[in-house]
Structure formats: C-alpha cells, structure tokens
C-alpha cells in the first residue's frame, strides 16, 4: 500500500469557503505533485515541488496555492472555493534521480456547491 | 497539447483474453511509465521502461517501447475481471523531473 496519504477523502463545501487539502508522505521523497482530474479524464499538473521551500506552478492554471515547509507535507489551499473547482485532486511523490515512477495518494474528491 | 495519448479510449474484452493498449508521444523521453487507476482512486505505478530499453515484463504485463515511432504498448495477458480499470501512460521528457500523463484507456474485463 502506498505511503502517501490524502485527507479528506471526500469534501463538500459551499462557495466562497477556504479549504486546505492535505497530503503527507512517509517515504522521504523530495519531489511532490498535485494533479487535478475530472472523472474519466486526463491528469493536469497544477503544482509541484522539488523540496522544502520549493514550489512551482504546473501546466494547468489554478487558483490554488501550495506550501512545502516540511519534506513530508505538501498541502494545497483554495482561498475561495467555486463550483468550477469541483474535481478530484491527486497528490503524488517521487524520488529525485531515481526511475521509480510516482506514488499516488487515493485522492480528494471535492464538490463545491 | 498532450504529450502522451492512449488508444483505444475504451476497450472491452472477456476474461482470459489479452488486452493491448497503446501510447504515443511527441518529444524525446527519458522514460515512459504505465499506471492503473481504479474508479475514484489514485493511480498505481505498474511499470517503467527507460528510453534505451525495448521491452519489459512484470508478471502478466508486457511493455514495449519504440522510440523511433514514439510509441509504447502495454499488453495484459490472460486478463481478469480485477484488471478492469483505466490505464495511463506518462512520459518523463527530462523536463525538470515532471512526467506528463495521457488521457487513459478504460479497460473493462467481463467475467
């Protein structure tokens, strides 16, 4: 079983609320990623990090922000949620310089009403 | 546009049959990965093939890579109902360690 955890698993919130999606990994991986995925669709990279205090925007424009204060923790925050943010958010990690692929969390299914 | 594109988009087979899905990409790569995703869950890494490899096996999985055609295939032999899932390829083009995912093939294996 993957050692990367996302909480909450499901979240339904009202428009305008601030939310933080949590992602933690216990593998000591340097690289972490957030992807957004609509049901049955491709994954879009929204944020990534190469290590502590490193964060970058991904290929898909997103109104969310991330932080990386600790190696194991990579939370994603939406300051003001909107219905257009309804989606599945997947967190992943990988090890620098190793061809092992990504380890994914189980995802957070967000619904903004 | 997408670096990796899978085909077919959907595949339905009977248990025991083989399933083949393909991935095409546009730029040179360091490696190509295949993942499985069960409905509503995260992706699970299946196999990685490096650009200097042509074929790789893992259990009932066989992956080929043709860098001249910029394509890869994933073969699942003797499929089982539990193989029902979406399968994604992802390419690492050396772009600062980011992999780009295709839009997936949905496989249904009927018992």
The tens place of each residue's pLDDT in chain A, 113 residues long, gives 559 999 999 999 999 999 999 999 999 999 999 999 998 888 999 999 999 999 999 888 788 999 999 999 999 999 999 999 999 999 999 987 667 789 999 999 999 99
Q: What percent of chain B has pLDDT over 70?
A: 95
Give the per-residue pLDDT at A2.
Answer: 55
* Interchain contact, A107 vs B40, CB within 8 Å: yes
Give the per-residue pLDDT at B96.
Answer: 64
Contact B54, B64 (CB under 8 A): yes
Q: And the tokens for A7?
A: 């909480």
Paired strand residues for B88: B35
Mean pLDDT to the nearest integer, B84-97:
86
d(CA B111, CA B100): 33
* Interchain contact, B35 vs A101, CB within 8 Å: yes
Average pLDDT of chain B to the nearest whole number: 92
Nearest CA in chain A to B6: A42
**B16 to chain A, closest Cα gap in Å:** 25
Nearest CA in chain B to A50: B97
Q: And the tokens for A82?
A: 């909107």
d(CA A40, CA A8): 21
Give the per-residue pLDDT at A11.
Answer: 97
Please report residues of B whose CB lies closer than 8 A to that of A35.
Answer: 101
Dump pLDDT digits (tens) for B20-69. 999 999 989 999 999 999 988 899 999 999 999 999 999 999 999 999 99
Give the per-residue pLDDT at A39.
Answer: 83
> Which of B43, B92, B98 is closest, CB to CB, to A104?
B43
Phi, psi at residue A22, to the nearest 5°?
Answer: -95, 145
Q: What percent of chain B has pLDDT over 90?
A: 77
> Which residues on chain A place their C-beta less than 8 Å from a C-beta of chain B?
2, 6, 31, 33, 35, 40-43, 45, 48, 50, 58-59, 88, 90, 92, 94, 96, 99-107, 109
A65-66 sheet: strands from edge to edge:
A4-7, A19-25, A76-78, A65-66
d(CA B79, CA B21): 13
Binned at pLDDT 50, 70 and 90, residue B1 comes out as very low
Other CB atoms within 10 A of residue A67 CB: 15
B83 vs A60: which has the higher pLDDT: B83
């Amino acid at each position: 079983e993957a050692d990367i955890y996302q909480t909450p698993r499901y979240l339904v919130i009202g428009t305008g609320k601030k939310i933080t999606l949590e992602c933690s990994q216990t593998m000591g991986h340097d690289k972490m990623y957030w992807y957004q995925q609509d049901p049955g669709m491709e994954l879009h990279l929204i944020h990534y990090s190469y290590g502590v205090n490193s964060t970058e925007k991904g290929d898909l424009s997103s109104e969310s922000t991330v932080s990386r204060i600790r190696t194991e923790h990579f939370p994603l925050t939406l300051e003001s949620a909107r219905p257009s943010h309804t989606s599945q958010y997947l967190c992943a990690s990988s090890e620098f310089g190793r061809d092992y692929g990504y380890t994914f969390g189980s995802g957070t299914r967000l619904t903004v009403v | 546009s997408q670096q990796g594109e899978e085909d077919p988009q959907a595949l339905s087979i009977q248990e025991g049959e083989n399933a083949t899905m393909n991935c095409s990409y546009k730029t040179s790569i360091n490696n190509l990965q295949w993942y499985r995703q069960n409905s509503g869950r995260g992706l699970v890494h299946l196999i990685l093939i490096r650009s200097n490899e042509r074929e790789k096996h893992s259990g009932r999985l066989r992956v080929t890579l043709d860098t001249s055609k910029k394509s890869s295939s994933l073969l699942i032999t003797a499929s089982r109902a539990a193989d029902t899932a979406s399968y994604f390829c992802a390419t690492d083009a050396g772009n600062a360690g980011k992999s780009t995912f295709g839009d997936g093939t949905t496989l249904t294996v009927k018992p």
